Amino acid sequence: MDLNLIMYLIPSLIMFGCGVYGFITRKNMIAILISLELMLNSVDINFVVFNRYLFPAQQEGMFFTLFAIAIAAAETAVAIAIIINVYRAAKNVDINQITKMKF
Amino acid sequence: MEIFSNMLIYFVIIPVLTLAGLALTKNKGIDAIRAVAVTGATALVGLAVYLVVYFLHARAAGDTSDMILQTSVMWYEPLNIKLALGVDGVSVVMILLSAFIVFAGVFASWKMDPLPKQFFLWFFLLSTGVFGFFISVDLFTMFMFYEVALIPMYLLIGVWGSGNKNYSAMKLTLMLMGGSAFLMLGIIGIYFHSTSTPGEYTMNLLDIAKNNAIPHNWQMFLFPMTFVGFGVLGAMFPFHTWSPDGHASAPTAVSMLHAGVLMKLGGYGCFRIAIYLMPFAAQQLGWIFLTLTGISIVYGAFSACVQTDLKYINAYSSVSHCGMVLFAILMFNSTAMTGAVLQMLSHGLMTALFFALIGMIYGRTHTRDIREMGGLMHIMPYLGVGYVIAGFASLGLPGLSGFVAEMTIFVGSFEHTDMFHRVFTIAATTSIVITAVYILRVVGKLLYGAVQDEHHRSLTDADATERISTATLIIAVAIIGCFPNFFINIIRDSFTPVVQALTSVM
Amino acid sequence: MPLSSTIYVLAIPLFMFLFLGLVGVKMPRKITGVIGVLGMAVTTVWAYAIAFTYFFGNGEGQMLDGVRQQVVATDWTWLSFYADKLVVKLGVLIDPISAMMLVVISTVSFMVHLYSLGYMSDHDGNPEKGFQRYYADLALFTFSMLGLVVSTNIFQMFIFFEMVGVSSYLLIGFYYGQQPANHASKKAFIVTRLADLFFLIGILILSFYTKTFDFKEIMGANGHDVCNAFTSAQGLTFMGCSVTAWALTFIFIGGAGKSAMYPLHIWLPDAMEGPTPVSALIHAATMVVAGVFLVARMFPLYVLEQGAMDIICVVGAFTAFYAAAVACTQSDIKRALAFSTISQIAFMMTSLAVSSANGKLLGGHEAGLGYMASMFHLFTHAMFKALLFLCAGAIIHAVHSNENSKMHGLHKFMPITSIAFLIGCLAIAGIPPFAGFFSKDEILVACYEKGIGWGLWMSMVAGMTAFYMFRIYYLIFFWKKHEVHGEHAPKDQPWTMTVPLIVLAIISCVAGFAPFGKLVTWDGAQLETHMNWPIAGASVGIALIGIGLATMMYWKENPLPDKLATMFKGLWTASYKRFYMDELYQFITHKIIFQSISKPIAWFDRTIIDGFFNLLGNVTNSASFGIRKMQSGNVQGYVSYYIIGAVLLAAVTGVVILCF
Amino acid sequence: MESLGNVIMYVIIALTIIVFSVLAVTTKKILRSATYLLFVLLATAAIYFQMDYEFLGATQIAVYAGGIVVLFVFAIMLTHKPGEDAAPITSHKRTLGLVACGAGVLLCGAAMLGYAKFCGQSLPSMSDFTIDSLGKMLLSTDKYGYLLPFEAVSVLLLACIIGGIVIARKR
Amino acid sequence: MDYSQFLMMPQEIGLLVVFLLVFLYDTFMPSKSHKGLPLFATIVFGLFTIYSFLPVPDGSAFGDMFESNKATWAMKNILNIGMFIVLLQSIKWTNSDFVAIRRGEFFELMLLTLFGMYLMISGRHFLVFVIGLETASLPLATLVAFEKKYYESHEAAAKYVLTAVFSSAIMLLGLSFVYGITGTLYFNEIASSVQGNKSLLLIVALAFLISGVGYKLSFVPFHLWTADVYQGAPTMVTSYLSVISKGSAAFAFFVILVQVFGAAYAPVWEWMLYAVIVITITVGNLFAIRQRNLKRFLAFSSISQAGYIMLGVIAANAEGMASMMYYILVYIFSNLAAFGVIAVIERKTGKVTTDDYNGLFKTNPWLAFVMMLAMFSLGGIPPFAGFFSKFFIFMGACSTGSVAIYVLVFIALVNTIISLYYYLLVVKAMFIRQDECVIPAFKSHWSEKAGLWICSLGIILIGIVSCIYTGISNITNSDAMSTMFSMIQQ
């Protein structure tokens, strides 16, 4: 059996879908952040497999992923810092904690 | 600077300088504030009179160009927007009218309280817009000044108004701005069809008229836009409802300026932009607006018959009279259009007079409900007589301005031989009776009869500033009424290009 | 005196108006009155001089082959509708009728000015409040009326129609503090305005076809060659009638409003709320005949339009009868006189209308007799009706009431007034040799020329005239002994009021002998008039019957009138209530115009139109409220919108782009 | 034709990704969630290895698995008492989540499956891509050189450090 | 390796130098004189602003990853001016008790985010663009959390960071599709390879990309974070978010759509943008009507303003670009004036709702006056700059000549009426309700005054003095730019 491109894309897409689902349903902010990681990770996979399967002449997708990992790390760091800050103020990390401002 | 050698620009500069002068005065220095305001207003009147003389002189000297005193200075080069000035007979008389009403308005708001300085600031900003509108021949600057004139209304009504002022001010502003939204789209559309050579778009309305390049299908779209845009300000049915509430809540001088001048911007714009630039669509769609304005005339008059608030009566009467202006403009011949301009002058002056008097009466009795007043003629004969004169002007008494205007309109309108125009003309003429009904009703209830409220007996008649304010307007009304040909000679030739354009597309 | 100086006849009253109105209010009342009277005296003398010059002088262009020419003394372009085509001029046109009217107006006006010095003062001779205004308004009226009669064009006529209307309004409403005067002035103005609307439409139609307003241009010199534009417009029809007939009918309606023809007459009785001298001047002698004057002025055109003439004829004849019938029962003497006025003006109208048929003047060698008679009657009527009103004023001033029940038996107290009144009554009843006899006789002759039916009808009305006039006379001066109320017994009034009575009485006695046919004819040519003795005799007979009947019923107090009133209760009440015309108008104005048109429109405006714009605002607001849940504050909700929005954006775009 | 080993490897990776992704977002225990995330990240690294991007795979393991997951664990430890379970999610939210992610996945899936180039493409051979050339490209200013992003991302990281300090500081 | 290519980016380098100076000052200056840091930073940045007006070389660097031309130069200068005003206005606030300890970081982070925006503007490679975008948004999340004593600040930061990462994930997914289709991330290469591609995948990619940038620009329905974050963030950060961040994103958006997807793909994104603009303007306005908190109110107002800005993008020609840049410039001045007033009053009294502003004119006439100028300018009332910018952007949109755009402009115009309504509500509170003032009279700091003066002058002069628009228009109409627009096939 041929391992073709789509076979990598589908799991990646499912991963992305899980991320979205998790973001919308989880109550814990850290869990939401985990969902976000899933989404970012799935995008990375896309870039890499596109690069490898379709455009192996250049390494653009690979480099993009490389930088995306760095960006994701930075994002996570900042996000966790902010979440911890919220925790300091509110003593928990429930997403319902941050619904004070609305309408 | 080339532009400063054109005296028209001073119609903008003087109000702006007045604004600056007012800004320098102290909040409490009421005398200084008044002095600055009166100086500014007087300078405007002087300049306006000089302009009339100059205009007549130029015409007598054989200057037959469409507009005199033309100057054009590039402003926004990429868009070919210019600060283009120029006046023809119509603008000249409108400027004269505005100057007079500003002058009278200053005196009518002599005892403005609170915040007199701010009041005059806004007042003169409004005047700046009005004068700027009349001296411009560039669509963009016209529109800009048009909006400059609109927005001070909000604060003038909101801060210094009375009654349900918040609602009225907001409604007035939003409806007028709604109109200007239509207008803006219309102007942009005109701009992009102003020429048949792409890339040389222009905002100068003389050039646009000369190019005559707006495709007919676009005219059919842009004409209603511009006409409705200006029609809202001209209180065209069914977009007139800002007028009663707005006028009722506005302070005296603002009502004067608004009804006296600002509503004229509507009529002026309708003919100068909508009809002049898009004669084809005007011919095609004129009947729709003719119907609406015809309704305005009768409808406004009938509505005025049953109102009990003095200002509402006047506002509805304005709807009727301004309807007459648009009605006449839509008749597309120079007689009717001349009548329209005369009607603008006449309505401007007499409505200003009305509002001035109402303001003065209200300032004394603290009510505008005619059911609560009566026999005021016994108590304040000067104001009473002034009111009666204003009423006579409104119902078209010969010798006062209303008569010549209405008659010119009717005679001009009667030029059309088809059934449609005839019916509407006849319908419009009936307004002279209905006008008489409501004017006399008010006069009868307000001034005649026995004194309703004994407290009113202690009230005083007009003081010196109030007399100046009203006398200016009364004299102006009488001058137009007695010597109409003077004004007609100024006005009439201005319609030649419009009428030519209209006949050429028939 | 050159005819061009006629302008000063107008200028003086105008100046008086401005002077008294602006400066006079600061001056002592008495002095303003005197100034007013003096000004009017000058005007009168001047007007006489003009008339004399015109009728008997031989200035250039006045006479041509024994025919009086119309002279345009002044013409000033006032308003030009088209650059050189349709122009409104203000000018002075002197011809027989305008010269005659100058005399009538200035005479009556002067008498009234003089009379008012006394009338408008209390018993101690102190002028009442508003005295200056009164004289200013009188001057304004005189100016307007003079301007009306000398109009060179129909538009000028319209202008002065409006002006006299407004002067009338001001003078009726002189006692503006009193509600009846207030209402009456309003009513007078609005009703005549309504008529003027038709006048205006008529002018518009006429000027549209003839392209001019000018009388001389439309009708040619002396009305003999009507312009081609008019005759060709006669061929155009609208709804079965020629457009010119429409125009002329509309113009007639305008005149009918001023002249109080049925059904536009309703303002005139109410107008009696004004001071009595005003009634004498405006509502008896001068302004109310403006309609007659208008039709007379345009007579050459009416001659060409038989349809319009027929309408005038019918309206006139009916109004004459109707007003006479109403006058028989009125108890307010001024109202009775007002109806009498209506009836007499209707005589004049009818007289004008019967003088032509199908473009030809009736009466063979007496061509234009009706026209002449009408003008003659206008002249005499002005004099004796002014006399009657001034007498009535004197009485009212004496007893402070308009009701004849407050009078009775005044003959003993006010002999001069009584005799003057009697002369007036005899004149109006058509008893020779008083003025009314001659003019009325000519009218009846003209009516019989038109048809026996018209003649009989008008004769009957003439009889009724005699009856009701003497009814009034008896009820005032006889009937029973006067009961003195208050401190003062009524007596003859001061000289300022008595002198005009005497002067007018004398005129009423002698005016009938004026050679009117030589002076005032429709085309300026002289007209030989003969006394038609059978008709004259018959009409005198009818008048005497009327007088006799009145004497029988009202000379001494007796129950006969009451009996008759109860016998014909319905008829009597209807007549007393003026056949419910006022109620009808009330119904139309209040129930229909105010309640059924204006109120619903006002409601529509506030609720539907305004409501619509408010609804726009409210919809925006509730939309704003409705979508606020979107901003739930919950991040997860936010991203749900985000992702769904992005997906929808892609999906919809995909569908649109890929499928279409 | 792929080697069987690769296929088996692929099946394992795909299953790991799918199963642990789903578990990571559904498990009630937050620490487990982090652990499942770790498995997913490792499986991703395996894909990279399969694609012959060894350096990338290594980075993935080092940064993600080694850095980020540890960060998560610390954060969880910091903000949670042991044994604390997540509250059950409301059905309303679950529906919303399912709809949103379903719509997104279906759309993207349909779009990808509809794009012919993605289906039936087998792995082409890749020219020699060494760590040496990678390093050179990273610092190259030519086309397909990444000096600018490299410098830029350093600024980003610096900014995030400063930001993190600001946030973390107590006051 | 050709490091001379860095000379192509003098503005970026200059900005980093400013950052370094501030950083060094922050690190090494004794704490005594630490109080002068805000002033120092502002002055240095002011000098830099002037410096960056020096002309820059035209051309691209790093193998077409970076482009410098007159338009980017102008756009960066516009941002610099706004940034300078923001810094000026925050001098006093950063020295206040609770913030003083972090004032160095405040300025450093601001400068770094500005650097990110520069990259967004000049980047011609999606990797550079994404890094710029993240640099512009991630540190901002920490800035949002700056006001540590307020819970709202934390909440806002959490919301911001979560949604920002989410949106960047979505955008990256879209980008990965673009990459999958074209095989490149260079703008100019993508442009040529998407030609004629009408696949659903590209549409999806484009939609995700628009949503990602739309998140920064607060398009509906990607806008929901805006209000909460604007409300919770320190006012200075809010003003920064609302104008500078938005302006840079708008410019980048224009470049991406026109340069990358302009050729042959314009109908697709124009259609999307059309829908987005209509929804954005309308919903933004509808929300704004009901807001009482001024910061929140301005958030929604800025949402609808973003819709207006997009009218310049949808025109996709030189006029559109010029009017968009001009609009951004005017918008910067207007919005910063409004936020400046809000910041001053919030700092002095802690009041931020419209009801608190009742009768402001009585106690603080100048503040009320400036606020009114700002409101009128935002509402598009002449003779203030907002009128001109609105008129020009409508003209820019209509210059395409398509009827659909006229309809769009009409919708936008109708919305201006609604927007005028709520702007006037603020004016009403300040001027009309004079009887119930709660804010006492006070004196503002000189720096705040200076900021407000600059804004007021800008509002009054930018419209009347035509050379600004003319200059921008000359830039966008220059030959260098014409290649960009020549790709659009109308």
Residue ranges covered by each domain of chain D = 1-86, 89-123, 130-171
Interface of D with E (CB under 8 A): 107-108, 110-112, 114-115, 117-118, 139-149, 152-153, 155-156, 158-160, 162-167, 169, 171
Q: How far is CA E451 from CA E366, E377, E427, in A?
A: 13, 17, 21
Return the pLDDT at A32: 92
Window 29-68 of D: residues touching A by CB (8 A cutoff) are 30, 33-34, 37, 40-41, 44, 47-48, 51-53, 56, 59-60, 63-64, 67-68
Q: Which of D100, D107, D111 sits opposite C640 (nearest CB)?
A: D100
Q: Do A102 and C636 touch (CB under 8 A)?
A: no
Q: How confident is the model at residue A80 (pLDDT cuts 50, 70, 90)?
A: very high
Chain A contacts of C639, Cβ < 8 Å? 20, 23-24
Instruction: Give the gap in angstroms from C-alpha E49 to the nearest C-alpha of chain A.
Output: 29
Interchain contact, C636 vs A98, CB within 8 Å: no
User: Is residue B416 within 8 angstroms of chain C, CB to CB?
Assistant: no
Q: Which of A32, A55, A86 sits opposite E154 (nearest CB)?
A: A86
C251-266 mean pLDDT: 87
Q: C630 at the E interface (CB within 8 A)?
A: yes
Query: In the A/C pair of chains, how many CB contacts fall below 8 A?
Result: 28
- Please tell me the distance in Å from C625's CA to the nearest CA on chain D: 23
* Structural domain spans, chain A: 5-90
Quote the pLDDT of residue D1: 53
Q: What is the pLDDT of residue D2?
A: 67
* Residue C606 CB contacts under 8 Å (≥ 6 apart), including other chains: none
CA nearest to C258, candidates C179, C348, C174, C318: C348
Q: Are residues A79 and E162, on separate chains, in Cβ contact within 8 Å?
A: yes
- D111 with E177: CB under 8 angstroms? yes
Interface residue B399 vs chain C (CB under 8 A):
yes
Q: How far is D135 from chain A (nearest CA, A)?
A: 11
User: C125 versus A33: which is more confidently predicted?
Assistant: A33
CA distance E468 to chain B (A): 9
pLDDT of amino acid C365: 44
Query: Under CATH, to which class is D1-86 assigned?
Result: mainly alpha
- Please judge whether A34 and D34 are an interchain contact, meaning their C-beta atoms are less than 8 angstroms apart: yes
- The Cα–Cα gap between A71 and A36 comes to 13
Q: B110-141, pLDDT tens digit by residue?
A: 887 778 888 899 899 999 999 999 999 999 99
> What six digits make up the tokens of E165?
């990462």
CB contact set of B249 (below 8 Å; sequence gap of 6+): B157, B161, B162, B163, B164, B165, B167, B168, B169
Q: pTM of the full predicted structure?
A: 0.91
Would you call D107 and C651 a contact, using CB atoms and an 8 Å cutoff?
yes
Chain E residues touching residue D163 (CB < 8 angstroms):
105, 109, 138-139, 141-143
E299 touches chain C (CB under 8 A): no
In tens, the pLDDT along C476-501 reads 888 777 666 666 667 767 777 888 88
Say what the pLDDT of residue C439 is.
Answer: 84
Higher pLDDT, D84 or C605: C605
The beta-carbon neighbor of B436 closest among C193, C602, C612 is C193
**Residue A79 near chain D (CB below 8 Å):** no
Tokens for B234?
């001209």
Chain B and chain C touch, per 3+ beta carbon pairs within 8 A:
yes
Angle between helices C610-626 and B165-192 (to 10 degrees): 90
Residue in chain E closest to C637 (alpha carbons) equals E224
> Are B448 and B375 within 8 A, CB to CB?
yes
> E-contacting residues of B 60-99, CB under 8 Å?
75-79, 81
Contacts of B17 (CB under 8 A, 6+ apart): B40
Q: Write the pLDDT tens digit of every residue in B43-53.
A: 999 999 999 99
* Partner-chain residue, chosen from E142, E166, E290, that has the shortest CB–CB distance to A78: E142
Residues of C in contact with A20 (CB under 8 A): 639, 643
| DSSP-derived secondary structure letter, C69 | P
**What pLDDT tens digit does each residue of chain D (171 aa) get?**
568 888 899 999 999 999 999 999 988 888 899 999 999 999 999 999 988 888 999 999 999 888 899 999 999 988 887 766 666 777 888 888 899 999 999 999 998 888 877 776 777 877 777 888 888 888 888 888 899 999 999 999 999 999 998 888 876
The full DSSP string for A52-90 is HHH-TTS-HHHHHHHHHHHHHHHHHHHHHHHHHHHHHHH
Integer Cα distance of D153 and A64 in angstroms:
12
Q: What is the pLDDT of residue A1?
A: 60
**Segment 51-90 of chain C within 8 Å of chain A by CB:** none
Answer whether residue C385 shows pLDDT above 70: yes
Q: Do chains A and B touch (3 or more CB pairs under 8 A)?
A: no
In this predicted model, what pLDDT tens digit does every residue of C6-53 receive, in sequence order? 888 888 999 989 888 888 888 888 888 888 889 999 999 998 888 888
Residue C363's pLDDT is what?
Answer: 52
Are the beta carbons of C649 and E211 separated by less than 8 Å? Answer: yes
* pLDDT tens digits, one per residue of C545-589: 888 888 888 777 777 777 777 777 777 777 777 777 777 877 877
Residues of A in contact with C631 (CB under 8 A): 102-103
Picking from A36, A97, A102, the nearest residue to E165 by CB comes out as: A36
Mutate to test the interface with E, among D162, D165, D169, D170 (most CBs of E within 10 A): D162
The fraction of chain C above a pLDDT of 90, given in percent, is 4
| Successive 10-residue mean pLDDT values, chain E, 490 residues | 81 94 91 88 95 89 88 93 94 87 90 94 93 93 89 91 94 93 89 81 91 92 92 92 92 90 77 92 92 92 93 88 94 94 90 88 89 93 91 91 90 92 90 80 90 94 90 87 68
Name the β-bridge partners of E60: E67
Angle at B215 between CA B210 and CA B216, to 5 degrees: 110
Nearest to B168 by CA among B105, B251, B97, B89: B251
DSSP conformation class of C660: -
Least confident of B49-58, C174-183, E360-369: C174-183
Find the angle CA(E442)-CA(E448)-CA(E450) to the nearest 5 degrees: 120
> What element of type H or E holds B488?
helix B484-492
C and E touch per CB criterion (3+ pairs under 8 A): yes
With tokens 């390093």, the residue in question is D135
Under an 8 A CB cutoff, do C650 and E227 touch? no
Chains D+B touching (3+ CB pairs under 8 Å): no
Residue ranges of D 106-135 with Cβ closer than 8 A to chain A: 108-109, 112-113, 117-127, 129, 134
Q: Do residues E18 and E44 lie in contact, with contact meaning Cβ atoms separated by under 8 Å?
A: yes
Contact residues, D window 132-151, toward A, CB-based 8 Å cutoff: 134, 137-138, 144, 146, 149
CB pairs under 8 A between B and E: 89
Tokens of E322: 């010029």
User: CA torsion angle for E79, E82, E87, E92 (degrees, to 10)?
Assistant: -170
Inter-chain CB proximity C624 and E204 less than 8 Å: no
Q: Which of E382, E482, E461, E379 is nearest to E428 (CA)?
A: E379
Q: Is C45 exposed, middle or buried (0-12, 13-18, 19+ CB in 10 A)?
A: middle
Asked if B189 and E399 come within 8 Å (Cβ–Cβ), the reply is no
Residue E490's pLDDT is what?
45
Rounded to the nearest 5°, which phi and psi values hold at C286?
Answer: -115, -65
Q: How many CB atoms lie within 10 A of CB C563?
A: 11
**Does A24 contact chain C (CB < 8 Å)?**
yes
CB B246 within 8 A of CB B316: no
How do strand E66-68 and strand E59-61 relate by DSSP bridges? antiparallel
Question: What's chain D's Rg over C-alpha atoms?
Answer: 20
> Does residue C444 register a pLDDT over 50?
yes
Indicate yes or no: CB of C650 within 8 angstroms of CB of E208.
yes
With a cut of 80, say whether residue C368 has pLDDT above it: no
Q: What six digits make up the tokens of B208?
A: 């646009």
- Burial-class residue E150 by CB neighbours within 10 Å (0-12, 13-18, 19+): middle
Q: Answer whether E37's CB lies under 8 Å from E22's CB.
A: yes
Enter the CATH code of domain A5-90: 1.10.287.3510
Q: Greatest CA separation found in chain C?
A: 116
For residue E436, count CB atoms less than 10 angstroms from its CB and return exposed for 0-12, middle for 13-18, buried for 19 or more.
exposed
